[in-house]
Amino acid sequence: MKRTIIAVTLAALMPGLAVAGDWPERPVTIVVPAGAGGGTDATARMLAERLRDKFGVPFNVVNQGQGGGVVGINTIKTAEADGYTIGVIYNFAHYAPMGQADFNASDFTPIAQYNFDPAGFNVRANSEWNSIGDALDAIKAAPADYSIACGGGCGGSWPIAAATLMSEWGIDLSQVRMIAGQGAAGALQDMVAGGFDVVPSSVPEAGALIQAGRVKSLAVFGSERLAAFPDIPTLSEQTDLDLTLGAWRGVVAPVGLDAEIAGELAEAMSDIVSDESWQAQMAERGFGVQWRDTEAFADFMASEEGSVREIVATLGL
């Protein structure tokens, strides 16, 4: 009896020393490097609910969207790797080359990727371009004549997707005018007003303006058409490029997480993502599902880090 009490007391005093067999014995924090109400937050909360059901302890979402995600991602990176702080992460390879924060793929223990939303190539509804090929050829002929909105900062998922495509098309990226601003919604409205020629963004974000007949999306950068927007062709249908570019989200932990805990989390994630009700829930909210297990996710983050940093350097950001 006495020994049990001592053991319990010791365990309570040393939460950091919890071993995989006991995990989780108290609530787990999911750091979300985005404000409440956005897409990252919505998917994280959906995950948290299902993780709680799997493990029987609360998974608490903590939003830290300050500084375009820098604060939240830093919290994940520097947290204790005891399995009680995990995080949702998204395209982060651009922060380091742009001098915003020192985040590298090697700073995290990958668990799994659960989401991917392809970029859309949006132009004004009355634009003379009717296919992605028209647009890219025109930009290639006179790269300085067109302005492309980055939505937020030019290192974000959407502008990087557009820049990667243009680079593959042989467009001189150093001549292209990529213009930073505040948010894709504002940039889309500005494009309708004649301020920009192209705004890359997720297709649902441009959905209301597409339905209102003010914006058309020339291509979606995914492997297949979106169920909600079946009229928008994919890149590979129109060009001989087979690129999937856009925004992704996955679950990571601080580097050095016990392999057994990571394994348990990855297994739970696999169960959740393959669950049909979860897929329906994601589709209903307009989020694409993409599964990458721990190994594939690690490879993906590493290769993306290389390609994004090359693009950022070419763009001269």
Contacting residues toward another protein, per CB under 8 A: 35-38, 62-68, 70-71, 74, 98-101, 144, 147, 153-155, 177, 179-183, 185-186, 188-190, 192-196, 208-209, 212, 214, 317
Among the listed residues 60, 59, 63, 117, the one whose alpha carbon sits nearest the alpha carbon of residue 91:
117
Q: How far apart are CA 285 and CA 198, in angstroms?
A: 25
H or E stretch at 74: helix 70-78
Q: How far apart are CA 246 and CA 228, in angstroms?
A: 17
Beta bridge partners of residue 284, listed in sequence order: none
Question: CB atoms < 10 A from the CB of 295, how many?
Answer: 11
DSSP state of 128: S
- Smallest gap from Cβ 191 to another protein, in A, equals 9
Closer Cβ to another protein, 66 or 130, answer by number = 66
Closer Cβ to another protein, 175 or 274, answer by number = 175
Any alpha helices (H) in 193-293, and if so which ranges? 203-211, 235-238, 259-274, 276-284
Q: How far apart are CA 26 and CA 177, in angstroms?
A: 51
Closer Cβ to another protein, 148 or 298, answer by number = 148
Closer Cβ to another protein, 122 or 234, answer by number = 122
- Smallest gap from Cβ 193 to another protein, in A, equals 4
- Smallest gap from Cβ 186 to another protein, in A, equals 6
The amino acid at 22: D
Closer Cβ to another protein, 99 or 170, answer by number = 99
Angle, to 10 degrees, between the axis of helix 184-192 and the axis of helix 203-211?
A: 30
- Smallest gap from Cβ 291 to another protein, in A, equals 27
Closer Cβ to another protein, 35 or 233, answer by number = 35
Closer Cβ to another protein, 58 or 133, answer by number = 58
- Smallest gap from Cβ 205 to another protein, in A, equals 9
- Smallest gap from Cβ 47 to another protein, in A, equals 18
- Smallest gap from Cβ 209 to another protein, in A, equals 7
Among the listed residues 252, 248, 205, the one whose alpha carbon sits nearest the alpha carbon of residue 229:
205
91 touches 311 (CB < 8 A): no
Among the listed residues 149, 169, 170, the one whose alpha carbon sits nearest the alpha carbon of residue 159:
149
